[in-house]
Structure 1
Amino acid sequence: MRLMYLLAVLAKMKLLTPAGIGRLLAALFRCGTNLMTLLKIAQSTHGQKIALVDERETVCFQQLWTDSLRLSGVFKEKYGLAKSKQVGFLCQNHIALVRAIFAASGTGCDVYLLNPEMSAGQLRQLFDEVELDLLIHDEKQTATIEQAGYAGASLYSYHEHLPAINQLLGECSDWSDERLASVPVPARSSAGKIMLLTGGTTGRAKKVPHKPSLFHYLPPFLALLSQLGLLRLNTAYIATPIYHGYGLAILLLFVALGKKTVITPGFAAAKACELIARHKVEVVSVVPLMLRKMLHHDPAALQSLVCIASGGAPLATGLAAEVSAELGDCLYNLYGTTEAGLCVIATPGDLRHRAHTIGQKIPGVRLHVRNVRNSDQRPCKAGEIGQLCVKAGGSLFFKRQAWIETGDVGYRDAAGYYYLCGRTDDMVVSAGENVYPVELARVLVEHPAIEDATVIGIPDEAFGQRLKAFVQLASHAGLTETQLQQWLRQKVARYQMPKEIVFVEQLPYTELGKPDRKQLM
Structure 2
Amino acid sequence: MQVFKLIYVLFRVKLFSPLGLYSLIAAIHKYGINLMPLLSFAERVYSDKVAVVDDHETLNYQQLLLQSKKLSAIFNERYQLSSGNKVGIMCKNHASLIKAIFALSLLGVDVYLLNAEISKHQFNNLIKRYDFNLLIYDFQLDSLVKQSDYANGVVLSYHTDLPAISNLLNSVSEQQEIKRSSPGKLVILTGGTTGDPKAAPYKPSLLNFLNPFLALITRLKLLNYRTAYIATPIYHGYGVGILFVLIALGRKIVISNGFDAQRACSLIREHNVEVVTVVPLMIDKMLNNNVEDLNSLACIASGGAQLNPRLVGETMNKLGSVLYNLYGTSEAGLNVIATPQDLSYSAETIGKKIDGVRLKVLDQHKNEVEAGEVGQFCIKNRWSMSNQNNCWLETGDLGYKDSRGHYYLCGRVDDMVVSAGENVYPIELEQILLNHPEVEEAAVIGVSDEKFGQRLKAFVLPAANATVTKEELFQWLGPRVARFQMPKDIAFVDDMPYTPVGKLDKKQLKFSEKSF
TM, length-normalised to structure 1:
0.95
Match of 2:372 among 365, 383, 390: 383
> Which residue in 2 is equivalent to 1:502?
491
1:205 Cα deviation after fit: 0.8
Deviation per CA, 1:338-375: give whole Å up to 9, x if none.
1111101111011011110011101111111111x22x
> Which residue in 2 is equivalent to 1:244?
236
> Which residue in 1 is equivalent to 2:46?
46
Match of 1:430 among 409, 419, 424: 419
> Which residue in 2 is equivalent to 1:192?
184
> Which residue in 1 is equivalent to 2:466?
477
Take 1:146 and 1:467, find their aligned partners in 2: how far apart are those partners?
44
**Which amino acid is 1:158 matched to?**
Y
Alignment of 1:387-406 (within 5 A): 387-397=376-386, 399-406=388-395
1:6 Cα deviation after fit: 5.7
Alignment of 1:98-177 (within 5 A): 98-172=98-172
1:171 counterpart SS class: coil
2:382 counterpart SS class: coil
Take 2:385 and 2:140, find their aligned partners in 1: how far apart are those partners?
33
Q: Is 1:295 matched up with 2:284?
A: no
Q: Is 1:362 matched up with 2:362?
A: no
Give the conservation status (yes or no) of the 8 Å contact 2:280–2:305: yes
Deviation per CA, 1:135-173: give whole Å up to 9, x if none.
00111111112233211111111111111111110114x
Cα RMSD for the two superposed structures: 1.5
CA 1:481–1:225 in 2, change beyond 3 Å: closer, same or farther?
Answer: same
> Which residue in 2 is equivalent to 1:286?
278
Deviation per CA, 1:24-80: give whole Å up to 9, x if none.
111111122211111101111111111001111111110000000000011111111
Take 2:312 and 2:287, find their aligned partners in 1: how far apart are those partners?
11
Alignment of 1:263-274 (within 5 A): 263-274=255-266
CA 1:396–1:452 in 2, change beyond 3 Å: closer, same or farther?
Answer: closer
1:408 Cα deviation after fit: 0.5
> Which residue in 1 is equivalent to 2:177?
183
> Which residue in 2 is equivalent to 1:209?
201
> Which residue in 2 is equivalent to 1:353?
345
**Which amino acid is 1:167 matched to?**
N
> Which residue in 2 is equivalent to 1:318?
310
> Which residue in 2 is equivalent to 1:465?
454
Q: Aligned pairs, how many?
A: 510
Give the conservation status (yes or no) of the 8 Å contact 1:272–1:294: yes
Match of 1:259 among 251, 262, 267: 251
2:168 counterpart SS class: helix
Give the conservation status (yes or no) of the 8 Å contact 1:340–1:395: yes
Take 1:397 and 1:259, find their aligned partners in 2: how far apart are those partners?
28
**Which amino acid is 1:168 matched to?**
L
Give the conservation status (yes or no) of the 8 Å contact 1:398–1:404: no
1:112 Cα deviation after fit: 0.3
Take 1:385 and 1:107, find their aligned partners in 2: how far apart are those partners?
46
2:170 counterpart SS class: helix
> Which residue in 2 is equivalent to 1:332?
324
CA 1:321–1:2 in 2, change beyond 3 Å: closer, same or farther?
Answer: closer
1:488 counterpart SS class: helix
> Which residue in 2 is equivalent to 1:25?
25
**Which amino acid is 1:292 matched to?**
D
Take 1:118 and 1:314, find their aligned partners in 2: how far apart are those partners?
22
1:519 Cα deviation after fit: 2.4
Match of 2:217 among 217, 225, 241: 225
Take 2:177 and 2:410, find their aligned partners in 1: how far apart are those partners?
50
1:224 Cα deviation after fit: 1.2
2:283 counterpart SS class: helix
Take 2:432 and 2:396, find their aligned partners in 1: how far apart are those partners?
23
Take 1:468 and 1:378, find their aligned partners in 2: how far apart are those partners?
30
Match of 2:428 among 439, 458, 468: 439
1:498 counterpart SS class: coil
Give the conservation status (yes or no) of the 8 Å contact 2:274–2:296: yes
Take 1:259 and 1:360, find their aligned partners in 2: how far apart are those partners?
26
Gaps of 5+ in 2: 512-516
CA 1:3–1:40 in 2, change beyond 3 Å: closer, same or farther?
Answer: farther
> Which residue in 2 is equivalent to 1:518?
507
> Which residue in 1 is equivalent to 2:514?
none
1:14 Cα deviation after fit: 2.0
**Which amino acid is 1:420 matched to?**
L
1:216 Cα deviation after fit: 1.0
Give the conservation status (yes or no) of the 8 Å contact 2:410–2:425: yes
